Amino acid sequence: MLKGAIICPDEDLAVKLEELLSDLGVVAIVRTLPRYPNAAELQRMLRATAPQVLFLSVESLARAMEIVNAAETEIPGVQIVAIGRNPDPQTLIEVMRSGIREFVSLPFNRQLVYEGMLRLKEVLDRRPVHMETTDLIFSFLPAKPGVGSTTIATNVAAAIAKLPQQKTLLADCDLNSGMVRFLLQIENQFSILDAAERAFQMDENMWPQLVSSHGNLDVLHSGQLSPERRVEAAHIRHIIDFARRAYRSVVLDLSGNMEKYAVEAMHESKKVFLVVTSEVASLHLAREKLAYLRSLDLGDKTVLLLNRCQKRALISPQQVQELLNTPLMMSFTNDYQGVYKATTAGKPVDITSELGKQFVHLAQLLADKKPPQPAAPEAPAKRKFVEFFSIAPSASSMLGGKKPA
């Protein structure tokens, strides 16, 4: 079924048209505006609803023609249908000159309207509408709880939002232990659960009430613990589709529990960042999750982020990459005090600190603002990786390996 929107100051006309279209079952109306919008309102409405067919009142011909030009610029290929009560011949001529080929007026002829909608469907099947959307969707997945995935996701999202023309959404998808609300001290009572319940009716008026804005960053937190409320994969898909049209970058903070909606989110993502530390338990679970991600055809888009690196770590970044057989994109220094200070202030980590600069660097890479650089210099190793673990058989066995004979 096609998606449609109505712009009509004549409420009675709009109601009768929507009732007829509902009966015909070819076009579903997702938004009705009872007035002619200004340019900004029109853009928000079109990007929020992405209609394929726009039913436009020609009660004010001049305003209608302005909307025709703006709509065709915003959504190339959108089909426009003129509507009115008793249009005069001059209005019909002007409508035809604008390129509109369908006109419906009272009293509606059911058969003629139905045939007109089928013609529009044939056109759209051949030449679908095109709306600019982003592919900068990034999922952050912890190898295990407590590795700092949410801290990285939150700070990277905040850093992306500070870049030019990078309106960004941070969505906390961890329904059991979401921390974004706490980290940024958000008071908005609405959450991703509310967005999911309204996903199929989402519009440009509802969305601003659900998110909390921090400059160029919008945050959709996970809300209070509500085990009885769930999110379906289809809901997440609709939210992401909406976000693709409204934002330049989208950061998804996942729980690591591999819920169906989380798997859907990762399939929609350009990159999946598996956050690990050099602790044995973290690396063991990371390997388990990587195997599962590969079974879902997500292995090619998954890379590692190594958190809380120590200068003299027992396991180096290069060895983590070798063990997990997955590219390591970046390593982050261990800055407990810096993270603690930021958390108590409800703000991102200071971008002038070493850790803050690392968040900014990753943000620039994700926003295509800076060429990629090596994750970390390779330290000269005196032993090969397997030899390194041969001196610590207990750690090797915990990672699933065999003890040396």
Long-range contacts of 113-118 (CB under 8 A, 24+ apart): 113/20, 113/21, 113/24, 114/24, 114/26, 116/81, 117/2, 117/21, 117/24, 117/26, 117/27, 117/53, 118/26
184-222 burial, b if ≥16 CB within 10 A, otherwise e? bebebebbbbbbbebbeebebeebeebbbebebbbbbbb
Helix, strand or coil, per DSSP, at residue 345 = helix
Mean pLDDT of 205-211: 94
Compute the distance between CA of residue 290 and CA of residue 100 in angstroms, rounded to an integer: 53
Specify whether domain 2-126 bears CATH 3.30.365.10: no
Average pLDDT over residues 94-111: 91
The predicted structure's pLDDT at residue 57: 96
Read off the pLDDT of residues 139-155 as tens digits, 9 standing for 90 and up.
Answer: 999 999 999 999 999 99
What pLDDT, in 10s, does the model give residues 36-86? 999 999 998 999 899 999 999 999 999 999 999 999 999 999 999 999 998
Task: Considering only residues 326 and 386, tell me which one the structure prediction assigns the higher pLDDT.
Answer: 326
| 391 has pLDDT over 50 | no
Domain spans of the chain, in order of start: 2-126, 137-398
pLDDT surpasses 90 at 238:
yes
118-127, 235-244, 308-317: segment of lowest average pLDDT: 308-317
Antiparallel, parallel or unpaired: β 212-214 and 217-220? antiparallel
Confidence of residue 288 (pLDDT cuts 50, 70, 90): very high
- Mean pLDDT, the chain, integer: 90
Exposure string (b/e) for 304-323, b if CB count within 10 Å is 16 or more? bbbbbbeeebebbbbbbbbb
Measured at the CA of 120, the angle between CA 115 and CA 124, to 5 degrees, comes to: 150
Q: What percent of the chain has pLDDT over 90?
A: 79
Instruction: Check pLDDT > 60 for residue 377.
Output: no
DSSP line for 268-303: H-SEEEEEE-SSHHHHHHHHHHHHHHHHTT-GGGEE
Task: Say which range, 119-123, 345-349, 370-374, 386-390, has the weakest mean pLDDT.
Answer: 386-390
The pLDDT value given to residue 403: 41
Q: Could you tell me the pLDDT band of residue 394, with boundaries at 50, 70 and 90?
A: very low
CATH of domain 137-398: 3.40.50.300
Write down the pLDDT at residue 311.
81
Predicted pLDDT at 88: 83
Q: What is the pLDDT of residue 87?
A: 78
